[in-house]
Amino acid sequence: MKLSVVDTERCVGCQSCMFACSRRQGEAGIARTCIGVRSAGGMERGFVVIVCRACNDPPCAKVCPTGTLKPRRGGGVRFDITKCTGCGHCRDACPIGCVFWDDEINKPMICIHCGYCAQFCPYGVLKLER
Amino acid sequence: MLQDDTLANVLYIDLSKKHFWIEKRQDLFDKFIGGVGVATQLLHEECPKGADPLGPENPIIFAVGPLTGLFPLASKTVAMFKSPHTGNLGESHCGGRSAIAIRMAGYGAIVIKGASNTPLYLAIHNNRIYFRDASSLWGIGSCITVGRIIRENEPAAGLRTIMRIGTAGEKLVSYACVTTETYRHFGRLGLGAVFGSKKLKAIVISGKRSLPISDTKLYQKVYDEIYQAATGSPVMKKYHGLGTAENILPLNEFGGLPTRNLEKAKFEGALDISGETFAEQYLGRRLACSHCPVGCIHIAALREPYGDELYFYKTSMFSYDFEPIYALGSMLGVSEPKGFLKLMEQIEVLGLDVMSTGVVLAWATEAQQKGIISKKETMGIKLSWGDHTAYMDTVSLIIKQPNEFFEALSCGVEHAASLYGGQDYALAFGGNEMPGYHTGPGAHIGVLIGARHSHLDNAGYSIDQKAKIKENLGSAEELAESLLAEERWRQILASLVICFFARGIYQPDVVLKALHLTGFDVTPEALLGIGEEIHKEKYRFKTREGFSLDKLRLPKRILETPSPLGKLDEKFIHRAIEYVKKSLSK
């Protein structure tokens, strides 16, 4: 299963998905969120929804020097935090900006494609699909 | 509150000394929750008696609440200040990304004191505070351009609010607003002028953090309940559907839509400026405030040719709501949707409170028609109902203030009428221009006695509408008591900074459940007691600054034009005010 952004034009910018992602991880607020919503240069132009698109050949994994990020079956990566040195190569390698960063522990935050955020998208922007 | 909650942090910024500090004010948040409760106390602390609203001694206070960032729709920021418009309590609420940004930056409240000598804007990114030179931004004609420049200059897209003023605020128009995220406003009572007086062009605030919660499992359960209610309820669907503009037609049918300076309460052009017409012909996009799944913000797209060249068009996008449509539409006899949108665009670009502006223009039109002012005062402009271009010319001059008449208009209708006459049809209550309801006595008494003279204080119009259905208004005392009860409860909602659109969802039991998770455990009775106390504290400030219920002016026009509940009875209104007076002195 992987998360898919169906249509950003349907996004109203409520950011409920961002809060959902943090909540899924047992936290309140947005520090832990692996999805980002911002305006496309003024809200009248609509929104940009930034989330891991589960690449088949993920650049973040290709540049990881410690084997922390490993390609996952069906796309995207698995994240083994015990191996991570916080070098940040993965963040630089993702052209979409989907590797979010936890400043407190200096480690990446990686979408696991659980689809919890999609359950809190009232307007059908996000969908979990095969 | 929970011990590690950053809500207790109050950020103090002194614009005179370019200095800032943070104080833990758990005392205030424990007692008054947050939002309006805490902001009222900070106003008492920071605003000296008799302060000049446009002097450095007038503080600007922003506050959010414990549920902000935790639960949906706790998404408003409360601003408090001494109003340059009424010379008394200033309170205005705004959504957008403002509340989430303040909470995520790690603050429960922000107090801005002093004044800068030169224009600046503040950048607050978590615990880093920057005083940025805004000399190059001062005088830029469009509030929207200012937003664009700051957007390019500052980090944290999607996680920030950008509050700014337009030229109305710079020129100290007493009803200038502060705009956030282009489409939301601290609209009423002149916060924009207070910004202007401090040479404060804008404030950008951003942050990203986790918030403490007492019980994660219960949190998810309560969250889900509130979220389901917010997305599933028909009331909330209405706000997303046509939005507040949906009320134009029913209110007009009801006979309560102020028309042409309330010469009538029914507008023959209502259909053309209805929520239905705007949705079908102009709606370009709907937006939401941060952490609100409802998405009630309606943006119209207006495509216009430039005229100097074939196929040369521009498309402007501006928000509309019930109140702007009333103020610039029915109140001014403007039934041409494009005319309304152009006027709306101008007011948005300049940063004026649209409601006050509409009422000021309506008074000026009638005053000119009745001959108390001539074309000399208006510098050649002939005001007539429905003529949006004349209104646009007038608005430009309210900003420029080239003569005494336009200076007077820039101070609101109460002031203008005190100089030129026409008080009988100068539709301000407690110094603040009226909202779009002539539904009966409840609407007007509500605004008269409301602590900020706003329809949002106690929703008197709603009491009128229910009374019409029941065909029984009850006594003046009963009406006053219902208004007071509603206003007291709204102090709780405004301390939690819950959007009033969600008042049906955040009933006392839900509020208590949500509060429990943030470490506030109070009984239902104690909660109501806090609401009552906050209300009294606001009145304590008002009284200190010279407000008296005895001195309220009643514009005769509201007694002349029949409401859906018949002609209003002056004695009935006075009885209700008398009741409020007694109740507040207890």
pLDDT single digits (tens) B517-567: 999 999 999 999 999 999 999 999 999 999 999 999 999 999 999 999 999
The answer to whether B289 contacts chain A (CB < 8 Å) is: yes
Which chain A residue's Cα is nearest to B293?
A14
The answer to whether B2 contacts chain A (CB < 8 Å) is: no
- Show which of residues 57-86 on chain B sit within 8 Å of chain A, judged by CB atoms: 69-70, 72
Whether B72 and A16 lie within 8 Å, measured CB to CB: yes
Q: Provide mean pLDDT across the span B127-143.
A: 97
What one-character DSSP code corresponds to residue B563? B
- Please report residues of B whose CB lies closer than 8 A to that of A117: none
Q: Are the CB atoms for B226 and B203 separated by under 8 Å?
A: no
- B439-585 belongs to CATH 1.10.599.10: yes
Outline where B198-233 has alpha helix (H): 216-232
Please, what is the angle between helix B524-544 and helix B508-516, to 10°? 100
Indicate the domain borders of chain B.
Answer: 6-206, 244-425, 439-585
The answer to whether B237 contacts chain A (CB < 8 Å) is: no
ipTM above 0.95, yes or no: yes
Whether B292 and A14 lie within 8 Å, measured CB to CB: yes
Whether B209 and A31 lie within 8 Å, measured CB to CB: yes
DSSP B236-286: HHHHHTTGGGGGHHHHHHHT---BTTTTBS--TTGGGGSHHHHHHHTEEEE
A8: Cα separation from own chain's centroid: 15
Rounded Cα distance, B200 and A17, in Å: 34
Rounded Cα distance, B243 and B104, in Å: 28
Domain that holds residue A96: 2-125
The answer to whether B287 contacts chain A (CB < 8 Å) is: yes
3-state secondary structure B40-91: HHHHHHHCCCCCCCCCCCCCEEEECCCCCCCCCCCCCEEEEEECCCCCCEEE
Q: Provide mean pLDDT across the span B185-211.
A: 97
User: According to the model, what pLDDT value does residue B164 have?
Assistant: 98
Residue A86: Cβ within 10 Å count: 15
Which one of A29, A120, A123 has the shortest CB-CB distance to B209? Answer: A29
Q: Does the pLDDT of residue A6 top 90, yes or no?
A: yes
- Please report residues of B whose CB lies closer than 8 A to that of A124: none
Chain B: closest CA distance from residue A122 (Å): 7
Rounded Cα distance, B430 and B422, in Å: 16
User: According to the model, what pLDDT value does residue B364 have?
Assistant: 98
User: According to the model, what pLDDT value does residue B144 have?
Assistant: 94
Q: Provide mean pLDDT across the span B376-383.
A: 98
User: According to the model, what pLDDT value does residue B123 have?
Assistant: 98
Chain B: closest CA distance from residue A62 (Å): 28
Does a structural domain hold residue A18?
A: yes
Whether A16 and B291 lie within 8 Å, measured CB to CB: yes
From the list A15, A24, A70, the residue with the least C-alpha distance to B287 is A15
User: According to the model, what pLDDT value does residue A130 have?
Assistant: 83
- Please report residues of B whose CB lies closer than 8 A to that of A43: 181-183, 285, 287, 299
User: According to the model, what pLDDT value does residue B150 have?
Assistant: 97
Rounded Cα distance, B401 and B217, in Å: 59
Whether A43 and B182 lie within 8 Å, measured CB to CB: yes
Maximum distance among all alpha carbons in chain A?
A: 43
pLDDT-based confidence at residue A103 (cuts at 50, 70, 90): confident
Q: Does the pLDDT of residue B586 top 90, yes or no?
A: no
- Please report residues of B whose CB lies closer than 8 A to that of A26: 216
Chain A: closest CA distance from residue B393 (Å): 27
Overall number of domains in chain A: 1
Whether B288 and A14 lie within 8 Å, measured CB to CB: yes
Which one of A23, A31, A46 has the shortest CB-CB distance to B285? Answer: A46
Note every long-range contact of B297-304, with CB atoms under 8 Å and residues 24 or more positions apart, other chains counting: B297/A12, B297/B183, B297/B184, B297/B243, B298/B242, B298/B243, B298/B245, B299/A43, B299/A44, B299/B183, B300/B341, B302/B338, B302/B341, B302/B342, B302/B345, B304/B338
Torsion of CA B21, B22, B28, B32, to 10 degrees: 100
H/E segment holding residue A89: helix A89-93
- Show which of residues 40-99 on chain A sit within 8 Å of chain B, judged by CB atoms: 41-44, 46
User: According to the model, what pLDDT value does residue A104 have?
Assistant: 83
- Show which of residues 21-40 on chain A sit within 8 Å of chain B, judged by CB atoms: 22-23, 26-32, 36-39
The answer to whether A16 contacts chain B (CB < 8 Å) is: yes
Which chain B residue's Cα is nearest to A44?
B317
Mean pLDDT of chain B, nearest integer = 97
Taken as a whole, chain A contains a residue count of: 130
pLDDT digits (tens, 9 = 90+) for A40-99: 989 999 999 999 999 999 999 999 999 999 999 989 999 999 999 999 999 999 999 999
Rounded Cα distance, B233 and B294, in Å: 10
Rounded Cα distance, B289 and A4, in Å: 23
pLDDT digits (tens, 9 = 90+) for B407-426: 999 999 999 999 999 999 99
Q: Provide mean pLDDT across the span B160-172.
A: 98
Taken as a whole, chain B contains a residue count of: 586
pLDDT-based confidence at residue B279 (cuts at 50, 70, 90): very high
Rounded Cα distance, B65 and B37, in Å: 9
Which one of B104, B213, B220 has the shortest CB-CB distance to A30? Answer: B104
Q: Provide mean pLDDT across the span B139-165.
A: 96
Rounded Cα distance, B303 and A41, in Å: 20
Does a structural domain hold residue A73?
A: yes
Chain B: closest CA distance from residue A12 (Å): 4
What one-character DSSP code corresponds to residue B330? G
Q: Does the pLDDT of residue B235 top 90, yes or no?
A: no
Q: Are the CB atoms for B104 and A29 separated by under 8 Å?
A: yes
In CATH, which of 2.40.110.10, 3.40.50.2020, 3.30.70.20, 1.10.569.10 is domain B244-425? 1.10.569.10
User: According to the model, what pLDDT value does residue B124 have?
Assistant: 98
Whether A43 and B70 lie within 8 Å, measured CB to CB: no
- Please report residues of A whose CB lies closer than 8 A to that of B319: none
**Sign of the CA dihedral B423, B424, B430, B431?**
negative
Rounded Cα distance, B261 and B333, in Å: 9
Does a structural domain hold residue A130?
A: no
Chain A: closest CA distance from residue B86 (Å): 33
Q: Are the CB atoms for A109 and A32 separated by under 8 Å?
A: yes
User: According to the model, what pLDDT value does residue B528 have?
Assistant: 97
Q: Are the CB atoms for B457 and B490 separated by under 8 Å?
A: yes
Strand partners, B130: B123
Chain B: closest CA distance from residue A118 (Å): 13
3-state secondary structure B416-438: HHHHHCCHHHCCEECCEECCCCC
**Sign of the CA dihedral B390, B395, B401, B406?**
positive
Measured at the CA of B542, the angle between CA B541 and CA B545, to 5 degrees, comes to 90
Rounded Cα distance, B196 and B200, in Å: 6
User: According to the model, what pLDDT value does residue A9 have?
Assistant: 97
* CATH number of residue A82's parent domain: 3.30.70.20
pLDDT digits (tens, 9 = 90+) for B472-524: 889 999 999 999 999 999 999 999 999 999 999 999 999 999 999 999 999 99
Which one of A14, A31, A123 has the shortest CB-CB distance to B210? Answer: A31
The answer to whether B220 contacts chain A (CB < 8 Å) is: yes
Whether B287 and A27 lie within 8 Å, measured CB to CB: no
Chain A: closest CA distance from residue B561 (Å): 40
Q: Among A16-20, A91-95, B229-233, B476-480, whose mean pLDDT is lowest?
A: B229-233
Does a structural domain hold residue A76?
A: yes
- B313-320/B297-305 β-pairing: antiparallel
pLDDT-based confidence at residue B348 (cuts at 50, 70, 90): very high
Instruction: Pull the structure tokens for residue A84.
Output: 């991570």
Rounded Cα distance, B3 and B26, in Å: 9
Which one of B157, B182, B208 has the shortest CB-CB distance to A44? Answer: B182
**Sign of the CA dihedral B286, B511, B69, A117?**
negative
Q: Are the CB atoms for B200 and B116 separated by under 8 Å?
A: yes
Residue indicated by tokens 């495509």: B303
Chain A: closest CA distance from residue B515 (Å): 14
Beta strands (DSSP E) in chain A are: 2-5, 28-29, 35-39, 47-51, 69-71, 77-79, 100-102, 107-109, 126-129
- Please report residues of B whose CB lies closer than 8 A to that of A28: 69-70, 210-213, 219
Q: Are the CB atoms for B354 and B344 separated by under 8 Å?
A: yes
Whether B157 and A38 lie within 8 Å, measured CB to CB: yes
Whether B291 and A37 lie within 8 Å, measured CB to CB: no
Q: Per CATH, which fold does B6-206 belong to? A: Aldehyde Ferredoxin Oxidoreductase;  A, domain 1 (3.60.9)
User: Reduced to 3 states, what is the DSSP secondary structure of residue B208?
Assistant: coil
In angstroms, what CA-CA distances link A37 with A33, A53, B102, B544? 11, 14, 18, 45
Q: Are the CB atoms for B464 and B441 separated by under 8 Å?
A: yes
Which chain A residue's Cα is nearest to B316?
A44
- Please report residues of A whose CB lies closer than 8 A to that of B286: 12
Question: First vs last Cα of chain A: how many Å apart?
Answer: 4
Instruction: Pull the structure tokens for residue B333.
Output: 């006899």
pLDDT digits (tens, 9 = 90+) for A36-48: 999 998 999 999 9
Amino acid at B485: A
Q: Does the pLDDT of residue B287 top 90, yes or no?
A: yes
